[in-house]
Structure 1
Amino acid sequence: MGGGSTYTPELIDGFARLRDVLPIAELVLVDPSAHRLELVGGLARRIFAKQGHPGTITTTADLDAAVDGADAVLLQLRVGGQAARQQDETWPLECGCVGQETTGAGGLAKALRTVPVVLDIAERVRRLAPDAWIIDFTNPVGIVTRALLQAGHRAVGLCNVAIGFQRKFAQLLGVEPADVHLGHVGLNHLTWETSVRLGGPQGEDRLPALLREHGDAIASDLHLPGSLIHRLGVVPSYYLRYYYAHDEVVEELRTKPSRAAEVAAMEKRLLEMYGDPALDEKPALLAKRGGAYYSEAAVDLAAALLGGAKEPSADGRHAGSPHQVVNTLNNGTLPFLPDDAVIEVQAAVGPTGAAPLPVPALDPLYAGLVAQVTAYEDLALDAALRGGRDRVFRALLCHPLIGQHAYADALTDKLIAHNQEHLAWA
């Protein structure tokens, strides 16, 4: 779903390269835009042909026909497109709050637009492909995945932050990515790497050595001070910068073009490139689009859900590993959260779903923030499902990046005004 995305060729390339891990007979790209489907679908077929993949690629706007009999459904939607993202990243700044598409007020706006659409798709999947797994890459992944699981769907959420850290740490340690097991814990876009073990969850923890030898470089990649990383003794995801350096980020966002504007310009160029009948591989420009390693994470997760874990490939690059970082139900893993909260941790993944691995007690410095954002996500999902100005206000007031009643009031009005066409209750 969202097969007309300019990022789809990254997914296609992964399916083609890793066809021994995840054999595909037919891949259906679904999108309401016939123009995008024609361009992306054409390139997708050329990529499969060049790499000798025997599978068929079909394009359609008919959701029911696409879902019928599917084994897995991947969701990569952007309701409202880049235009809505541009708004999410802009109007919160008017109140001095971070403008970002997955957290804060912008993230709530995206959740309100997205959850009803995703649940409609999931009901069709339940009716037409009841045994299919839904893999959600649609942001905000934690809230969307919780909506799916709360409604009883077979769903697992996926983010590329963990696999990015895995690849980075493997490079620094001089080992294969498959040898790196992350102590990854938190909520989607609110996570910390608390250990980096070699060979599995019981292996030697190399995080202290990584921080001693490469801490400043790791911090630089996150746009955070090296002194902070050394004091924490863990590696936060780059989304934590919105919390740890909020005011600094707001000033930056006010003085430079939005990420949405950059992506929109990039997408225009990518679609022009995709229309070239001679292009038969993903272009280098696509690497700047975001979502690094998404294709490999998606293949790994789908392979484990559909066929169980596989042994590592010869190059160690990808293995359909039984241990993967996913978004799934807490079920006691973090004892200070309700069981039905959706957390992002290492899990044992197989045909029956994802079961979180045990997590060491979380430092109160992190547990407190996780608990508050979980409470926000509860309220955000309630607002997405039932609507109403007061529910939107409550979610915004609860969010740690907002918190003040005057800001929450003003942001509520702005959110509703900018999203009326997508909110049935507004």
Structure 2
Amino acid sequence: MTADADRGALDAAWGSIPQSRETTAGLGSFTRTRVERMLAIVIGVGCMALSVQAFLTALGPSEEDPAWHLPLTLMVFLPLAAMIIACFVGRGAGAFAALFAILYIVALILWPFATLESSPTLATQPWIFYLINVATVCTVLAFPLTVQIIWTVVTPLLWGLVRMVQVGFDPAFGIPVSLDVSFALILGGILITLGWMFRSIAANVDETRARAVESYAAAAAADATEQERIAVGALMHDSVLAALIAAERADSPRERTLAVSMAREALTRLANTERDSSMGSEAPTSIGDLATELDHAAAELGAALRVDVARADADLLIPGGVARALVLAATQAISNAIQHADAAGLDVSVASTPEPLTVQVRVRDSGPGFDTSAVPADRLGISASIVARVAAVGGRSRIESDRRGTVVALEWAEPA
């Protein structure tokens, strides 16, 4: 297979991915999901090895009273077994891990009462000791990082206190118990750190992948829009020429009306080719959706504002081409206000009436203003992007500017 064929196959594969927010979110959790599954399996294997050691020790001579032995072992090993099974199955591991961690702490608190009549020795360790780091590492599956750290520190220290209470604070147990506590603290800290590190790496990889997919989708959409503009421009060439020829040859009122209609249709289609790839379809658009589009456009330009729209008029429908032209023209007005007035006092409002159907978009700022008559003819930000675009759909625009600010008013009314 050639390099061009490889590239074509790759482009086709990327193009088949639906680029929605839900899809991007799914792609952005790919690595984290698999790291979580890996952690669950590794923790399950490690806990199973330590729990077997602890269980075999519990089957032998025990330090606790016989009346306490069975309840304590059942209270600890049943949730532990459920957690290990859940780790391999992939369901409910977090809930069973939290249950075991809590019950293990309860078992440690009850241990001095269960071993009142015992005579512990330095040569052996009770079965509950072998589960200290099991109780700390299982918090990786159940709790946030802060709780994990607290649990990793508190559990070994609690074991040291419980052990010293059990032996009556015998000085002979001081150093061995301190070594056990320090070992449990170090091992627990390493396990918690490894879990945090793997999750951080996975989150960074997912974030980078999501940004790459989003950038690729935006670039693909921009390229598709540009190709469409070129194609539509080529097709519109004849329409524009036909409108100009009709206008030149128009002698009667009917011919002039036809030439105006042809020119308006050509201008409307040309204006529509400049829309962004995410502007929507030609279907009728509600006033509320128009206001939402203006909100998004302002946010992309760096202006945080909320477009004012009357709630009663939010469901009124206007043609999709009209809505697009008003959004693009108002977006240009917002861009001008940000660029020339630093968005001072920037306010956008949408008003409408049902009978006759009209819609007005007003963009206001409190900048220094400008002289509208002094704008050079080659500056198309107002004449082409605002005035001509609104006029192409049969609307009107009015720009007023003085020292108190600038107001750009856009209006469209449904033809009688």
* TM-score bracket for this pair, using the shorter chain length: under 0.3
TM-score by structure 1 length?
Answer: 0.22
Query: Bigger radius of gyration, 1 or 2?
Result: 2
Higher relative contact order (CA 8 A, sep 6+): 1
Greater share of strand: 1
